[in-house]
Amino acid sequence: MIRLRNLVKTFSTPKGTERALDGVSLEIAWGEMFGIIGRSGAGKTTLLRTINLLERPEQGSVEVDGRELTRLGESELASARRHIGMVFQNFGLLSRRTVAGNVALPLELAGYPRSEILPRVRSLLARVGLKDKEEAWPSQLSGGQKQRVGIARALATAPKLLLCDEATSALDPETTKQILELLRQLNEELGLTIVFVTHEGDVVRRLADRVAVMEGGRVVEQGRVFDIFSSPRSRTARSFAAELSATPVPEALRFEAQSQPGVGAATLITLAVPGEPSREALVSALVRRFELNVDVVAGRIEHIQGQSWGSLSLLASGAPERIGAAIHFLRERHIGVEVLGHVGRDA
Ligand SMILES: Nc1ncnc2c1ncn2[C@@H]1O[C@H](COP(=O)(O)OP(=O)(O)OP(=O)(O)O)[C@@H](O)[C@H]1O
């Protein structure tokens, strides 16, 4: 178990004191894939870096596997850190060492016997799919390959816990998928606990079992990913959920949508529906109960933790108070509703 209790961390900046962590408490179980999500400056990286005390909190405690790291001396802390690997956004490889040399580094620092290092490096490289790159230099690798080396290096001392700081943010979408797949495999095959920071809802959707949502140095909500995204309570979670459920609304309609309704305008609405939405049932409820005219303009189904999650974009027209009542009706049924704007009838 990883237990973070009431962490406070401040930084002095030219503008004054910045509270990067403002009383954060979290518990993460062994074997979990735990995501930390938030907008820029929310405190995600600072929180991640307090787990191995790369950042020392001014208040609060960090307990990993029953040991309170905040109470350890330097040499005990160094040995505790060997059980915690870390992966960085920009890979952090040494350009003057080969791939094998980079992966060997933590083993050399930990004093592994020479005879054990090369076989171990080879098996780590095989595990991350880089068997043939042992002698390559970092400059000869693609971004995805560099991150695989970063992961192999982080796993060198056989940690139980891996901390990933925006591990895929520098990668293209296809490479991101492959690296996320590798992380999931490591979790399943080695039982590795992974705590990762991201500003991308899609990374959380694909990877996390549970997620903590951060705003202004605080965890504003946490829970299972499906629950958080299907019934978000905080502003940040709502905006991530809306991004994830964004249906491919035709560009022309988005462009056309105005913030103020004109006479006879239709309201462009997107709905995020836990489970597979039955378009017909939803549309007919809106038509019958609220006497609206409804056109479905787009829809799709996503999957989170094996559960489906649908989204629909609609153009609804009718009396404004009926549209308001319909939105209220949908929200009461845990359907996320976002009004994108108002579109003239002939649009
Ligand atoms: N070393 C530092 N010195 C001064 N201020 C810092 C330092 N590290 C972080 N901060 C401040 O603390 C706050 C939280 O930063 P942090 O990097 O943890 O956020 P984040 O959510 O990871 O953001 P991003 O996604 O942009 O990396 C920010 O306001 C940041 O400016």
Is residue 4 predicted with pLDDT exceeding 90?
yes
For residue range 281-307, list pLDDT tens digits in order.
888 888 999 999 998 888 877 778 777
Range from 156-170, 239-253, 304-318 carrying the lowest mean pLDDT: 239-253
CA 124 / ligand 1 centre spacing (Å): 32
Is residue 310 predicted with pLDDT exceeding 90?
no
- For position 277, what pLDDT does the model report? 64
- The protein residue whose alpha carbon is closest to atom 12 in ligand 1 is 20
Is residue 347 predicted with pLDDT exceeding 50?
no
- For position 127, what pLDDT does the model report? 94
Count CB-CB contacts under 10 A for residue 188.
11
Pairing of strands 266-274, 336-343: antiparallel
- For position 216, what pLDDT does the model report? 94
Count CB-CB contacts under 10 A for residue 249.
18
Place of tokens 């796993």: 155
**Confidence category of residue 40, pLDDT binned at 50, 70, 90:** very high
Question: Mutate which of 44, 47, 165, 169 to test ligand 1's pocket (most atoms within 8 Å of Cβ)?
Answer: 44
Q: What is the pTM of this model?
A: 0.82
Is residue 263 predicted with pLDDT exceeding 60?
yes
24-32 average pLDDT score: 96
- For position 345, what pLDDT does the model report? 62
* Average pLDDT value for the chain: 90
Name the percent of the chain lying above pLDDT 90. Answer: 64
Pocket residues: Cβ below 6 A from ligand 1: 11, 13, 18, 20, 38, 40-46, 199
Inter-residue contact 72 to 80 (CB < 8 Å): yes
CA 112 / ligand 1 centre spacing (Å): 35
**Confidence category of residue 230, pLDDT binned at 50, 70, 90:** confident
159-179 average pLDDT score: 94
Question: Mutate which of 13, 15, 47 to test ligand 1's pocket (most atoms within 8 Å of Cβ)?
Answer: 13
262-290 average pLDDT score: 81
CA–CA distance, 82 with 52 (Å, rounded to integer): 10
**Confidence category of residue 258, pLDDT binned at 50, 70, 90:** confident
Question: Mutate which of 45, 203, 213 to test ligand 1's pocket (most atoms within 8 Å of Cβ)?
Answer: 45
**Confidence category of residue 346, pLDDT binned at 50, 70, 90:** low
**Confidence category of residue 280, pLDDT binned at 50, 70, 90:** confident
CA–CA distance, 212 with 28 (Å, rounded to integer): 10
Inter-residue contact 297 to 340 (CB < 8 Å): no
94-111 average pLDDT score: 95
Inter-residue contact 338 to 266 (CB < 8 Å): no
CA–CA distance, 41 with 292 (Å, rounded to integer): 42
